[in-house]
């Protein structure tokens, strides 16, 4: 928010030309603005201050953008982050910007230099240039800060920066070479670039850490883990893993029909007799309904009988005689 200026100790001020935005320009408009509600808010005690038309006889004695004026003006400006790689900040501007900047020291110009003639030629060249001037804005002036006397041209894009200003400045290169032959400087802001803000930078760092952690975890599991990876491979190869509706077995520990419950109470004598009769009946039914699938071998695990070889031969002879 702009800071107000107290005009109490200023009996009169001389103004050459004033411009506020696109609505207020000239001495009369500025005088009416001072009397308005907004003007009284920005300029305190300005009712008795005389505003007169002023004229600077010598430009060296009344330069524009004096340090004290620049500090007062720029203290009310909130600069935004420019969306380019190498922002420029020409003298007389409070904030860095995206665009192109031309500078030529008039002390190095050979011969007579007419500023008004140069400005007229430059405007005609821009209006008839190869680049459409409807997408750019430009300003021509003289930088006299710190005792300098430099012609400067500033070209910026209208709206979002898209390097139209740099193309416009490049198209003016032959014109500058014809006018000055050498000694001028051209600075470009570079390619468009959107810097990350605080929250975006934090989110980017967190996402990078998550991706890096996931990557190294996969590498560790693949090369060094002998437990998790084999289980995963076995689960993938087992088709039942994908067809079984429930991966984990579920049962009711208090259900009597699940086959897993155990009664730890001791039964009574009557219950034992009933259970024995039920088991005998069930065993009888099994014997009647099912064929025998096994038998007891009486010779299993019994030693072989010892037989005298002489007696064995005698028995064979006796059988033959009979």
Residues 250, 260: Cα–Cα separation, whole Å: 12
Phi, psi of 99 (to 5 degrees): 165, -155
CA-wise closest residue to 97 among 86, 112, 108, 111: 86
pLDDT tens-digit map of 190-226 = 888 766 555 666 777 888 889 998 888 888 777 766 6
3-state secondary structure of 218: helix
41-77 pLDDT tens trace:
888 877 777 777 776 666 555 656 667 777 877 888 8
pLDDT tens-place values along the chain, 322 residues long: 556 777 777 777 777 777 776 677 777 888 788 888 888 888 887 777 777 777 666 655 565 666 777 787 788 888 888 888 889 998 888 899 999 999 998 888 877 788 888 888 888 888 876 666 778 888 888 887 777 788 889 999 988 888 888 888 888 888 888 888 778 889 988 888 766 555 666 777 888 889 998 888 888 777 766 666 676 667 666 655 555 554 444 445 555 555 555 555 555 655 666 666 766 655 555 555 555 556 566 666 666 666 565 555 555 544 444 4
Distance CA 156, CA 164 (A): 8
């Amino acid at each position: 928010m702009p800071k107000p200026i107290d005009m109490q100790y200023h009996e009169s001020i001389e103004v050459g030309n004033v411009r506020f935005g696109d609505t207020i320009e000239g001495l009369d408009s500025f005088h009416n603005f001072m009397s308005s509600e907004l003007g009284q808010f920005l300029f305190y005690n300005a009712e008795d201050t005389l505003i007169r038309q002023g004229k600077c006889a010598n430009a060296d004695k009344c330069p524009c953008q004096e340090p004290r004026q620049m500090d007062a003006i720029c203290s009310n400006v909130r600069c935004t982050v420019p969306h380019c790689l190498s922002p420029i900040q020409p003298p007389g501007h409070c904030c860095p910007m995206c665009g192109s900047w031309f500078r030529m020291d008039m002390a190095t110009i050979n011969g007579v230099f007419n500023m008004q003639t140069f400005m007229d030629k430059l405007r005609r060249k821009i209006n008839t240039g190869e680049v459409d001037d409807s997408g750019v804005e430009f300003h021509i002036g003289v930088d006299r800060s710190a005792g300098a006397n430099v012609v400067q041209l500033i070209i910026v894009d209208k709206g979002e920066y898209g390097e139209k200003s740099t193309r416009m400045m490049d198209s003016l290169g032959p014109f500058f070479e014809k006018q000055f032959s050498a000694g001028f400087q051209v600075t470009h802001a570079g390619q468009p670039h959107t810097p990350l803000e605080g929250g975006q930078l934090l989110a980017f760092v967190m996402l990078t850490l998550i991706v890096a952690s996931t990557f190294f975890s996969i590498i560790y599991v693949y090369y060094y883990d002998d437990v998790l990876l084999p289980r995963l491979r076995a689960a993938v190869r087992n088709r039942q893993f994908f067809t079984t509706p429930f991966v984990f077995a579920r049962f009711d520990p208090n259900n009597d029909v699940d086959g897993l419950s155990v009664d730890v109470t001791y039964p009574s004598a009557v219950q034992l007799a009933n259970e024995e009769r039920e088991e005998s009946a069930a065993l009888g039914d099994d014997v009647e309904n099912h064929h025998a699938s096994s038998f007891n071998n009486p010779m299993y695990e019994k030693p072989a009988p010892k037989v005298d070889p002489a007696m064995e031969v005698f028995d064979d002879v006796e059988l033959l005689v009979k």
